[in-house]
Structure 1
Amino acid sequence: MYSVEVPLGSVRRAAGSGPIAHASPQTTVAFSPDGSHYASGGYDGRVVVWDTADGTPRWTGRHQRLVNSVRFSPSGRLLASCGADKVCRVWRVRDGALVDLLSRQPDDLNALAWLSDERLAAVSQDGTGRIWEVGSGRLEDVVLMHTDHCMSVDASAAGLLASCGEDATIRLWAEDGTPIRVLREAGHAEMCRWSPDGALLAASCDDGYVHILEPNGELAAKIGPYTAAVKSVAWSQDSACLAVGAYDCTVRLWERDGARQLVRWQGAHLWPRSLDWSVDGRTLIVGTISGAPQLLEVPELPLDATAADAEPIRIEVAASSWTNGVNHLSAEAGALAAGRDDGAVALWRADGSALHLPVGNGSLVNAVALCPGAPDLLAYGTFSGLVGVVDLAAGNGPLYEIRGEFPINRVVWSPGGDRLSVADYEGDLRTFAWDGRALSEISVYSGHSGAIKDFSWVDEDRIVTISTDHTAHLIEADARLVRSFTGHGELVNSGSVTRIGGRSVLATASRDRTIRLFDLDTGELLQVLIGHDESVKAVAWQPGGEPRLLSGSYDFTGRVWELDPADWSVGSVEVLVGHGNAISSVAWLGQDPVTAGWDGRVLRWHRAPGDGGYAAHAFEEPAR
């Protein structure tokens, strides 16, 4: 194992901005019951408690992996947090002291709900939920069961528990964990929340609606439809209105029956995976891709807002700070491009020069692609759905831009550079012809049942797509399916194709912590690589047909796998340690592996003389 000490990626402050505390986007937010504090958790593993009065951080706690949920106890004296390190931590709000650590659930913890100041429910990626006694740390003898990942849990004022998961059910439980009812009509739900009066349950679902359900399972109302994924919901204290966060960079305030949209907040930095409503009804809090959560002041609604045809109040929200987390790398002809949280692309050229390109219009850059044979041509895609092409030699801003409805996961040029394919969060792969001035759509592939996370051009006629539906597809460039690759037990994050000894080999990386190697032309499974102890986020074959694979993981490490093509056994594995957060993307610059992460570091690894191990140096930040 080889490690390197390099400066940690920074959180940058915009002119005139307020306090910041996170080095990466926030995954979860919550107000205290009396509204005097709010809490946030993020990809950086930090838990931050803030004073509502002045928005300053009061204290910061740490998890070893990303944080998925923060919730205040009913009294407001305690804060619970949980995440991908498989533990729940309970903090004293007054001073941040750790008062309990609950650690007997075997997989990522996704969400929490307090039943009282002494009892806490936690649900897990393994499809189970458990109830703990806080203080004693006793795990109660009851299991809340789903048949797939359990994503959310909430307790009503009367103590009724609701949980939802990727098994397309919402399940109701008594306070002691006794099952009461299964609600099947809502589909896959990301979040469920009881109204404060306990009369209704809101669930954000994958059909583009928020379903509002009565405890008996009757559908009371539907809010939508949304074209982007609906991720989060929060009730007003009088149970009359519902705030909804979606992956279109909006938070929208609706009447409970869904008849009218009252307010619409829009901001390219808004990442509404989580939101919450203050007890006085005046403020919403929402997660962002910047250095701090966003407080949204709820306006006094004018009288004419009650009219049936009234337009919602529209409010544009600007980011006050940003982070330098890296989301994607592209390498070509000795140049390296990195798409970042701060809405910029960092570019390092083979001649040693570096550029900072603010192309995202305030939204994080999720994908970058340098064009084969023309590395001055750069394509990018953003969380807000923007796709653009830049001529770096001209230096006059984007040559061409188009905007879609959904977050962009990946953009890749064809080998000849005359086509650009774009994958989005909703599962479409769109291929465009590029004539040097504009993009024109020529095909669409919609064969996956989940989002397309990654894809690669195999040659001028074939593409491999990688999806959250646990599969990879080999398709013709005109969008005809050739074959599927299956076997992963979780979503597939990344894929890479190479040709070794006359055989085309596909590597796929999954949240199930494995890498699978397939014969691309026959579908044969060649090998399963096991070593990372968290989700494998990225893979890349070394160019030139070498049997050497680079991987990066949520476990903060990269790995270089040396393989024997005779039987695809592993000859050796070298572990690259130098990141302070998950590795989000990997690439090769010639013989050198490159890793990038949400800590803002981009590291180039060189083989050290002598023992043949790897040492690294960090790319310097381009001048702004």
Structure 2
Amino acid sequence: MTMTLDSRSAWLCVAVVASLLGGPRASAQETDAKPKARSVSPIEIKPERRTLSPGTPLSVRTLVLRPPQIPNVLSWTIESKRHRGYLIATSLSPDAKQLATGGLDGIIRIWDAATGEFQKALVGHDSYVYDLAWSPDGRTLASGGSWDATARLWDVRSGLNLRSLKHPGYVGKIAWSPDGRMLLVCGGESGICLFWDVTVGAERGKVEHGRHVLSSAWSPDGASVAFTCTGQATQVFDTEEFKTRKSLGEAALTETNFSAAWSPDSKQLAVATNVGTKIWDAESGDLKQTLAGPMTTAAWSPDGKVLATAYSGNAVQTWNTADWKLIKALPLGATALAWANDGSRLSLMTSSTVTLWDVAADKALPTIDASGPASRAMWTTGKFMVSGIGTNVVSVWDIATGKLAKKLEGHTAPITALAWAANNKTLASASADKTVRVWDAQKGELLKKLEGHTAGVAVLSWAPNGKQLASGSHDKSVRLWDTVTGKSTKTFDDHPTAVTLMDWNGKMLVAGGPSNTIFVWNTTTGQIVRKLEVSGQAQSLSWSPDGKVIATGGVDDAIRIMNPANGATHAKLSLPGDPPSVTALTWSAKGETIASGRANHTAQIWNPQTAKVAHNVATMAPVQELLWSDTLRTLAVGTTDRCVRFFDTASGKLRATLITDHDQVPAITADGHYRADSEPELVYVVQTESSQDTLSPPDFAKKYRWKNSPKDVKVAE
């Protein structure tokens, strides 16, 4: 571990913002029977010069990548009010009036903490938002942009990005000094932590932990900073001499210190670990108490009388710090926690929602649905598309209008897979309830309920004739069905693991799961034709149109074209990326081209004969599904941020994006026009020299004389 400090960086601090896993900050102050509001002097941050040129996008992650120029506007985009994808970070403002959220889509959203109403979006990061923290004076919001390697400072009132602080590697955690003059930014595989003077944007100190930093927390008296890292004991640093003051415990291979939180008097440190929450005497380094049960985050109440702890989706627990007895388990789970400064509310974040718990009333306030529906619509070349994975109901949408057409109800557990027959009218749905259901999607009628699996069904694949269906299950079997009669015609039960991948060309079926082996069956004879060994677990499979070869994608960066007749690998298509997993594959109709999708937010169009990439496009989120248009002029890419993006296969440019919302699926073109059935959950974000404003569609049209043109919205050709 190495450390340096500029001599000008010695400071005394009077309050705290503690770093918790997932991004929220729990404010702390001197222990008192009744917490009083802190007095923090406002900090002036000089904005850096703006370099955004008119007509360029606000971020590479925006929906409008080619914004037409508008007088007195530098750039603009259209955004959804709710996050596109899961939440990673949240932070409650010091006055508990506003809540900031960030996550997969890279857009920060500000909410009214009391009502849960959306207020504005802050656009600028080019990658995930991994962490958020309000400054102690409540005027500035700091954000960590993960792989864009920046921490940004935002004037929330004006929406302006005041400063972008460059980091040598991804940014994982941020924490304010209690006086609000310094920002600690941590990240990178080497665990580099930089101390920034935010008033002038100058680096004042540096620590290199040599490993991944999971949390950082300033003590309320400003004298110490605590770090938790992978494979390392919790480290407490002296901020005057900048030395390691204490090492709490010992590094253990079986123990992970997820996050640290200081008591308001700076005398104790609560460290949430996978083996319990440990309470340390920060001065002596003695372990005072261990609270049972794995935890990932902890937060002290401002009066120091209560410690809240949480672990993933399990109930949040509150503990009496006088005797360390459990007070109660709240009927809600959380991945991150933060107290209001006055102790009146506790913020609970999950991967999709934020809820404020009213401490006096002992009840939850209305939950903020910050990330929208759990799944995206699955586009087809027919008239309808469907969504519903992760829920118990299939939603059928009209592609032309984005309007909800039907709801298909009947499953009693979450839906795990959806698959269209070749006619784009018959739909199959699989569920954790162990059944497969076959629907007439246009009429909304259940045609058949297929029963026989003894565990949840994970994957589906239709035969080309549209009458036979294959299902793969966690019961380690594949079943073939006659969907006209509803009867199972064959069962292949010699798969060694759950069957989670499958493709059927009508004669041969290829299947895989969490292993290095892919099974190929002759579906006429029921015999295993070949067991193909691949490097690492298979993530995607696709038969070539002529049925001669299989494309496989795995956890490495390669696509392998394999011959099931002899097991030979004909070609290997490699493209480095992080993470390298190839999660989706599809051949063009004649087999001349293959498209691949990856977990690293990209999709490729390949020539399998030359192993060359024609286009490598940014998809903004991990890829789940790929589909060619009938003309092959468009590639549809379904991603984990509830979007389907449509790329021109000749140029590689984005045409448009479909976003699945609760009651419609609006389409937005890359040049800023949208089509929706009714007033959508969309806003315009407009960057000028003096502000970044969030406007409703009518307000944007009126202020900038902009005319939206739904007739120009064409997602595919």
Q: TM-score, normalised by structure 1?
A: 0.67
- Partners of 1:371 and 1:413 within 8 A in 2: no
Say if 1:210 and 1:222, in contact at 8 Å, map to a contact too: yes
DSSP 3-state at the match of 1:139: strand
The counterpart of 2:512, out of the listed 449, 464, 489, is 464
Structure 1 residues 53 and 619: CA distance shift in structure 2, 3 A: closer
Q: Is structure 2 residue 198 aligned with structure 1 residue 150?
A: no
**Within 5 A, what are the aligned runs for 1:106-145?**
106-107=169-170, 109-116=171-178, 117-135=180-198, 136-145=200-209
Q: How does 1:19-38 map to 2 (within 5 A)?
A: 22-38=83-99
For 1:212, the equivalent position in structure 2 comes to 278
1:587 corresponds to which residue?
Answer: 626
In the alignment, residue 582 of structure 1 is paired with which amino acid? A
Amino acid at match of 1:183: A
How far has the Cα of 1:89 moved from its partner?
0.6
Indicate the residue corresponding to 2:535 in structure 1: 485
Q: CA deviation at 1:150?
A: 3.3
Map 1:252-291 onto structure 2 (within 5 A).
252-253=317-318, 260=326, 262-266=328-332, 272-287=334-349
Structure 1 residue corresponding to 2:227, chosen from 163, 185, 189: 163
Distance change >3 Å, CA 238–CA 210, structure 1 → 2: farther
Alignment-derived partner of residue 569 in structure 1: 611
Q: Does 1:474 align with 2:517?
A: yes
Q: 2-side partners of 1:334 and 1:461: how far apart?
A: 28
Greater Cα shift, 595-604 or 346-355: 346-355
2:555, 2:77 → 1: CA distance? 26
Structure 2 residue 540 is the aligned partner of structure 1 residue 495: yes
CA shift, 1:595, in A, is 1.2
Q: Give the one of 415, 439, 454 matched to 1:392.
A: 439
Displacement after TM superposition at 1:516 (Å) = 5.3
1:88 Cα deviation after fit: 0.1
Once the two structures are superposed, residues 298-331 of structure 1 have per-residue CA deviations (whole angstroms, 9 ceiling, x without a partner) of 3556xxxxxxxxxxx9x79766676357558487
Distance 2:312 2:336 in 1: 11
Does residue 41 (structure 1) correspond to residue 91 (structure 2)? The answer is no
Deviates more, 1:325-334 or 1:75-84: 325-334
Q: 1:183 aligns with which of 248, 251, 258?
A: 251
| Matched positions, count | 543
Aligned residue runs from structure 1 range 399-414, under 5 A: 411-413=458-460
Offset of residue 87 of structure 1: 0.6
Specify whether residues 100 and 613 from structure 1 end up closer, same or farther in structure 2 by C-alpha distance, changes over 3 A only. closer
Q: 1:556 to 1:162 in 2, by over 3 A?
A: same
AA of the residue aligned to 2:141: L
Matched position secondary structure for 1:200: strand
Matched, 1:508 2:508: no
Q: Deviations over 1:161-196 (max 9, x none)?
A: 33345x444441414564553532663455443444
Which residues of structure 2 form unaligned runs of 5+?
A: 1-63, 69-75, 463-467, 522-530, 666-676, 679-717
Superposition CA RMSD, Å: 5.5
Q: What fraction of aligned residue pairs are identical, expressed as a percent?
A: 16
2:575 counterpart letter in structure 1: L
Contact 1:455 1:464 in 2 (8 A): yes
Q: Give, in whole Å, the separation in 1 of the partners of 2:409 and 2:79.
A: 19
Counterparts of 1:221 and 1:24, CA distance in 2:
35
Contact 2:376 2:388 in 1 (8 A): yes
Matched with 1:421 is 473
Contact 2:217/2:227 (CA < 8 Å) preserved in 1?
yes
- Please tell me whether residue 172 in structure 1 is matched to residue 172 in structure 2: no
Counterparts of residues 578-617 of structure 1 (less than 5 Å): 581-582=620-621, 584-589=623-628, 591=632, 593-597=635-639, 600-605=642-647, 616=655
* CA distance 1:538–1:10, change in 2 (3 Å): farther
Note if contact 2:413-2:433 (Cα within 8 Å) is conserved in structure 1. Answer: no
Shift of 1:412: 1.1
Letter paired with 2:270? L
Q: Which of structures 1 and 2 has the larger relative contact order (alpha carbons within 8 angstroms, sep 6+)? A: 2
Q: List runs of 5+ in structure 1 lacking aligned partners.
A: 12-19, 302-312, 423-428, 448-453, 467-471, 487-491
- Cα offsets for 1:12-53 (capped at 9, x unmatched): xxxxxxxx5645543211223443443222333222344545
Contact persistence 1:9–1:599 (CA under 8 A): no
Q: Which amino acid aligns with 2:187?
A: S
Q: Contact 2:406–2:444 at 8 Å: present in 1 too?
A: no
Mark the CA change 1:494 to 1:212 in structure 2 (over 3 Å): closer, same or farther: farther
Matched residues in 2 for 1:354 and 1:57: separation? 23
Cα 1:574–1:234 change in 2 (3 A) is: same
TM-score (norm 2): 0.59
Higher share in strand: 1
> Who is 1:80 aligned against?
142
In structure 2, distance between residues paired with 1:241 and 1:434: 57
